[in-house]
Amino acid sequence: MITSFAAEYYEVSFVLILAAFAIPISRRIAIADIPILIVLGIIFGPVLGIINHDFAINFLTNFGYVGVGLLGVMIILYYESHHMDLKVIRRHFWRILSLDTIGIIVTAVVAGVIFSALTGAPFTIGFLFGAIISPTDPVTLIPLFRRIRIKDDISGTLIGESLFNDPLGIILVTIAIVIIDPTASYVSLFTSISSHVGMYAGVVVYFFAQIIISSVIGIIIGFSMIFLNRFLNFENLLVAILLGVVILEFTILEAAGFTPFPAIIATGAIVGNFSDKSIFWNREQNFQENLSFLSQAIIFLLLGSILTAFQIRNYIVLGLILTIFMLLLVRPAAVLLSLAAVKRKGSKLKTPNSLKAFFSLVGPRGVVPVVMSTVPYSVGLADNVPILITYGPLISVMVSFVVLFSIILQTIYVPFLAKYLSSDWIDTL
C-alpha cells in the first residue's frame, strides 16, 4: 500500500518527467512549450487522474506556506529581468509606464464589466477578476520574440511592460480585495495605512510605497552583490548565494506586507546589466535559466491539473468566449487608451497604426494570473468572506481558461501578425 507521503513524491517526480517531455514534443509540432505543458497537465490530471486534483492545488498554493506558484514567479521574474535592456526601457519609459498604469486599470475595469455580464457576478467580483488577469506574461513573450526576431525596441517595450505589470497587477488585486473586504488579513498593511490617511489617500500611499520601497531595496541588493563579489570572489558559489539572497529578499518583504516582485526584478536587472560577465556570472545566469524553466514547467502543468472534468465540460465554452473578449476588445482598449495618453514635451509621442495594432493584439496572460487566481478563495476561507468563497472557484477556473487559450492562440497568430505588419516598422521607433 502506498502511503500519502509516498504518493505525493510520486506525483512530484511525475510532474518533473512530464516537464522534460514537453520540450521535444513542442519542437516536433513547432509551437511554444507552454501550451504543451498545460495540455499535458489536463491529460494526466482531469482526464486520466494520474495527477491528483487536491495535490495540484496544494502544491501550487501551499508548498513552503506560500505555494510553488509564488516561489516560481519569484525565480522566473528574477531570471527574465536579467535580459532587461535598460536602454530600451529608458527610450520608451513613458510608453511602458502608461501601459503599466492606465493599461492595467482599463483592463481590470473593462474585463470586470464583461466578466460580470457573462457570469452574473457583482462588479466588485468582476473587478477582482480583471485585476488578476491584467498582467501580461514575459515567460511567453520572450521565447516567442526570439522566434520571430522583431526589432529590439518593439520586443523590449512589450517585455518591459510585462515585467513591470506583474507587481502592479498584484497591487491592484490587493486593492480589489480591500474594496470587497477592508478587514481581510491579506490586506493588513493597507488597512494600517488607510487608518491613518483615509481610504483614497491610502490607495495612493500604498501603491507608491509598494513600488518605490521594494524597488530601492532590490537595487541596493543588486549592486551590493556585485560589489561584494569583486572583493570576495564567490566563484561557483555565486549561484548559491544569489539564489539565497533572492529567496531572503522575497521572504522578508512578504513578511513585512510588501510585494517582493519589484525588488526581485530590480535585483535581476542590476545583475544582468552591471555584472562583469565573467564565467561565474554566466554560470549563474545559466543556472537561473534552467531553474526558471523548471518553475514555469511545474506551474503550467499544475494549471492543467487543477482543472476538473466538471469544470472543463461546463466552463470551457465560457472561457473561450471570455478569452476572445480579452484578446479583441479588452487588450486593444487598454493599449489604445494608454498610447493616446503618452506625451513627450507637450506633443503626442506618435505610434504608427501598424504598431498600435501589434501592441493591441499581443498580450498573453500567464504565470502571475494563474498564481493570483487562487487568492480570492483562500482569502475567503481564511477570513470567512462569503462572496469570495462563492465566486473564488469560478474566478480561478475562468483565469485558467483565459491563460490557456490566450497562450495557445497568440503563439499561433503572433508570428503571422508580425510578418504581415513588420514592413512598416523600419525606423518607426
Sequence-ordered list of residues with C-beta below 8 angstroms from that of 92, at least 6 positions apart, any chain: 153, 156, 157, 160, 429
pLDDT higher than threshold 50 for residue 153: yes
Q: How far is CA 191 from CA 74, 188, 197, 396, in A?
A: 25, 5, 10, 25
Q: What are 68-95's pLDDT values in tens digits?
A: 777 888 888 888 888 777 787 888 888 8
Q: What are 290-305's pLDDT values in tens digits?
A: 888 888 888 888 888 8
DSSP code of residue 258:
-
Closest C-alpha among 169, 187, 85 to residue 130: 169
Domain positions in the chain are 4-424
Q: Which three-class secondary structure state does DSSP give residue 343? A: strand
32 Ramachandran zone, left/alpha/beta (phi>0; psi -120 to 50): beta
Considering only CA atoms, give the Rg of the chain: 21
Mean pLDDT, the chain, integer: 82
The yes or no reply on domain 4-424 and CATH 1.20.1530.20 is yes
Look at residue 88 in the predicted model and tell me its pLDDT.
Answer: 78
Q: What are 391-405's pLDDT values in tens digits?
A: 988 998 899 889 888
DSSP run (H or E) holding 311:
helix 309-325
Cβ-contact 360, 128 below 8 angstroms: no
State the average pLDDT over residues 196-204.
Answer: 77
Q: Which three-class secondary structure state does DSSP give residue 348? A: strand
Cα gap 323→326, rounded to integer Å: 5
CA atoms within a 13 Å half-sphere pointing along the CA-CB vector of 389: 7
Look at residue 110 in the predicted model and tell me its pLDDT.
Answer: 95
DSSP code of residue 225:
H
Q: Where are the alpha helices (DSSP H) in 198-278?
A: 199-232, 238-255, 261-274
**Helices 93-119 and 331-341: angle between axes, nearest 10 degrees:** 150
Closest C-alpha among 111, 115, 124 to residue 180: 124
Look at residue 79 in the predicted model and tell me its pLDDT.
Answer: 86
Cα gap 108→82, rounded to integer Å: 28
Which grid cell sits at 387? 462572496
The one-letter amino acid code at 294 reads L
